[in-house]
Chain A
Amino acid sequence: MTGSTTSAVLESAGMPASGAAPAIEIRGARKVYTVFPNTKRVAVDDVSITVPQGAIHGLLGPNGAGKTTTLKMLLGLVRPDAGVFTILGADSRSRIGRSELGFLPEQPYFPPQLSAAQALRLYARLSGVPHKDIAARIDELLTLVGLEGQNRTLLSAFSRGMLQRLGIAQAIVARPRVVVLDEPASGLDPIGQRDVRNLMLKLRDEGATVLLSSHQLSEAEVVCDRVSIISRGRVAAEGSIHELLSVAGRTSIRVRELPAGLPVAVADLADDVALSTGGVLVFSVPDDAVRRAVDAIDDAGGKVVSVEPKRESLEDYFTRMLARTEEEAKR
């Protein structure tokens, strides 16, 4: 069989012809809802996102920005008006495309009269987990998400946080290579939120790809390799956290043991001065003034804790980005 013939056969089966396909590819996604017979509302307009294999990609944006609609189109839950959606190179709406996919919906809910084990058994069977492996996988997953011993508990007796944990378990029941998580930390206590973060990192370490839709910017900042910020149905910004948050030309310096405050030579250069915990002063200086600032601090008896490129917080960046897109929309 020639290479082109092989490719044609694979493509006709909905499978990627190349082994280097991105984990998730969304190209030119568009969805228009008809709100009233003649009123159209563009929910998503020309959204394109590419997630390489083995990455954690954040999808950020305010309520109503189009994040969930984009995810729903990817998952085949909503019919797109335009766009190409692939998972590991296969059409995400085909059975093959979804065979490597796990999905946690926002605020997941389950048939209330099933027990936790019965629900997981259902999802394992639907995902094609071999019958002989299901019981062991259920025990393993319930332990992993902190629900050990709850196999026989009816889901009607589960709290919001327990349902969220079960939702995470069902998403990864078949060890998918691509996991889409919509607000995974919603309803969880701080320990649960930490567990979810660690789980996402573990999944990435095991080679899985995670697409994370979240309002929790701190969570996205900690775990995401790259993020796409969606606003008013469009991608307003995309890049690695480092790229997006770096402030060009400025360096952040943290110092301590300066009870009298910053030396005058440094104070003239410094910007954004703030007193942090433990008496640590944080400020930024132009890149070309770092040497002078450090020498001046040494001379004043202070101790330099860290010198690193200045980064904006994701929250500040996010707020600024949304304000900009709002202004553009008004114009």
Chain B
Amino acid sequence: MIRRVSAIAGAVFLDAIKRRIVYAVGFFAVVLAFSAPSLPSYGVGVDQGVYREVALALTFAAAFVLALALAANRIPSEVERRTVYNVVARPVGRWEYVVGTWVGITAVMAAVIAAFTLVDQGVGLVRYGEAMWQLWEGALAIWCEIGVLTAFAVAISAISSAVVVAVGTLTFAFIGHSRQPILSSFPGLPAWLYPSLDTFNVINPVAHGSGYEWPYALIMLGVLVAWAAALLILGSLGFGRRDL
């Protein structure tokens, strides 16, 4: 099982990492990172916090766009081009294909987010003379959230088209970050049922504070695993019943 999932994930990684979209998004993210220090000055000590906040927001935005681009059309295009036949006609479970696809894209996102963070850190070091190690804490939170959003996109893409995936994932991300206003508008909605992504919102402690404690990293990883498992099970069930 692990051999098959890792084989699929490895192929997805190799195929995705060479796509032009990765380098196009990366290029613009780097340009933005270099231009971030040109923001208006807010005073000594505040500038660094604003820079970190902007850097994390840009990293998240670029990673989200890239994850959508890679995940939304992966399975639909493999079904349309019939490349999926070469995989699922073998002794490979359809759930292994879905999970392998998610692992591969999430691995690409890890590499991309790490590269963005390195650039952010380098720019911060040059501009402010500060290593800004806490950016890596933010990078972990971004990667965890992107992992959940990628799982959502992969799960929906297993049964639907790329356009539906893109719209659905954007909606999911919006709802996931609007817990408070929506719950206050609909008091009857059970809070425990609400799909919240707020666990991954660590901008304040990372940008303006001293970061978060390491147990919180474990909580974020746990939430990522729980979300991803639930979404990928649903995606696998849908894909397993689908005629290819």
**Chain A residues close to B by CB (< 8 Å):** 72, 75-79, 95-96, 98-99, 101, 103, 105-114, 118-119, 122-123, 125-128, 167, 170
Contact call A126/B244, Cβ cutoff below 8 A: no
**Assembled-state Cα–Cα distance A60/B83 (Å):** 24
A sample of 28 cross-chain residue pairs with beta-carbon separation below 8 angstroms, ordered by A number, consists of A72-B244, A77-B88, A77-B89, A96-B91, A98-B89, A98-B91, A101-B89, A101-B90, A105-B85, A105-B86, A106-B82, A108-B82, A108-B85, A108-B86, A110-B86, A111-B11, A111-B14, A112-B15, A113-B16, A114-B11, A118-B14, A122-B7, A122-B8, A125-B7, A126-B8, A126-B87, A126-B92, A127-B90
Chain B interface size range: 20 to 34
- The one of A103, A114, A119 in contact with B85, judged by C-beta atoms closer than 8 angstroms, is A103
| Residue numbers in B under 8 Å from A72 (CB-CB) | 243-244
User: Which of A75, A118, A122, A125 contacts B89, CB < 8 Å?
Assistant: A75
User: In this assembly, does B10 line the interface, its C-beta being within 8 Å of a C-beta of chain A?
Assistant: yes
In the complex, which residues of chain A have a beta carbon less than 8 angstroms from the beta carbon of B4?
125-126
Please judge, given known A-B contacts A95-B91, A123-B90, whether A77 and B8 are in contact too, CB under 8 Å: no
Once bound together, how far apart are the Cα atoms of A109 and B86, in whole Å? 9
Min distance, Cβ A101 to any Cβ of chain B, angstroms: 7
* Cβ–Cβ < 8 Å partners of B18 in chain A: 113
Known: A77-B243, A78-B243, A126-B8. 10 other contacts (CB 8 A): A72-B244, A77-B89, A95-B91, A108-B86, A111-B11, A113-B15, A114-B15, A119-B11, A122-B11, A170-B86
Count of A-B contacts with CB under 8 A? 82
CB-based nearest B residue for A154: B18
The 10 A-B residue pairs whose C-beta atoms are closest, nearest first, are: A125-B7, A113-B18, A111-B15, A95-B91, A103-B89, A113-B15, A105-B85, A122-B11, A77-B244, A109-B81
Chain B CB within 10 A, most for which of A95, A103, A109, A170: A109
- Report B78-111 CB contacts with A as 1/0, cut-off 8 Å: 0001110111111111000000000000000000
Q: Give Cα distance in the complex from A125 to B86, angstroms.
A: 12
Looking at the assembled complex, report how far the CB atom of A128 sits from the nearest CB atom of chain B, in whole angstroms: 7
Whether B82 lies near A99 (C-beta < 8 A) is no
| Residues in A neighbouring B91, C-beta threshold 8 A | 95-96, 98-99, 126-128
Give every chain B residue within 8 A of A119 (Cβ-Cβ). Answer: 11
A118 and B11 contact, Cβ closer than 8 Å, known pairs A72-B244, A79-B241: yes
**Bound complex: CA A30 to CA B90 (Å):** 23
- Report whether B83 and A109 are in contact in the complex, using a CB–CB cutoff of 8 Å: yes
The residue in A118, A122, A126 that gathers the most chain B C-beta atoms within 10 A of its C-beta is A126
Per the bound structure, the CA–CA distance linking A113 and B23 in Å amounts to: 14
A174's closest neighbor in chain B, by CB?
B90
Minimum CB–CB distance for A116 against chain B, Å:
13
In the complex, chain B residues whose CB is within 8 Å of the CB of A79: 241, 243
- Judging by beta carbons under 8 Å apart, are A111 and B83 in contact? yes
Q: Which of A96, A103, A109, A114 contacts B14 (CB 8 A)?
A: A114
Known contacts A95-B91, A98-B91; A126/B7 CB under 8 A: yes
CA distance in complex: A110, B88 (Å): 13
Residue numbers in B under 8 Å from A112 (CB-CB): 15
Chain B residues, CB < 8 A from A109 = 81-83
Q: Give the shortest distance, in Å, between B212 (CB) and chain A (any CB).
A: 37
B69 to chain A minimum Cβ distance, whole angstroms, is: 14
State the CA gap A122–B90 with chains docked (Å).
Answer: 11
Q: How far is the CA of A76 from the CA of B90 in the complex (A)?
A: 10
Which chain B residue shows the least CB distance to A173?
B90
Q: Considering the complex, give the chain A residue whose CB is closest to the CB of B83.
A: A109
- Residues on B with C-beta less than 8 A from A106 are 82
Cα-based distance from A175 to B229 in the complex (angstroms):
35
Chain A residues positioned under 8 Å from B19 (CB to CB)? 113
Chain B 8-45, CB within 8 Å of chain A: the 1/0 string? 10111011101100000000000000000000000000
Q: Are B11 and A78 in contact (CB under 8 A)?
A: no
